Amino acid sequence: MRVHEEHFQEEHVEHSNALHSAIRDRGGCLVGPLARYNLNYDRLPAIAREAAPSVGLSPICKNPFKSVVVRAIALARALGSLPKALTIYGIEGSTFEAGAALSQPVRDAAQKLKDLILSRLAGESGVFSSIRTRSA
């Protein structure tokens, strides 16, 4: 048995395509951006630590739904600064069976969202006005 397998158990669960990890005899464990954030909060630049509470983050975050926000804080760490605003877009699906293709409403919403984002970026800076993208 590998050393990893002595300490961690990984399994697929019905509602996810990802492996879920648990520490043997203790329960779930965080991996990815949440784990890095929790372990390195004290190493974040002051601007990132100051911004964290304003977006609902404490020094320890165990909420997987805040992973996107944690990634934004990580980006601030990498860049050494934060944007004035952070907009998170989402499209809600309705069919989640394995192998299911994107539904037409989701494809339509993705196209509208792409157009909206490119339009907003072009308005902020003419840089994006010449970008051509492939339609889904």
104-127 confidence digits (pLDDT tens): 999 999 999 999 989 888 876 544
What is the pTM assigned to this prediction?
0.45
Q: Which residue in 86, 46, 41, 84 sits closest to 68, CA to CA?
A: 86
Q: What is the pLDDT of residue 69?
A: 87
Task: Write down the pLDDT at residue 19.
Answer: 67
Domain limits of the chain? 1-29, 32-86, 89-136
State residue 10 phi and psi, 5-degree precision. Answer: -120, 140
Residue 113's nearest CA partner among 79, 90, 85, 80 is 90
For 15-40, how does the pLDDT look when each residue is reduced to its tens digit (9 = 90+)? 666 667 777 777 666 667 888 888 88
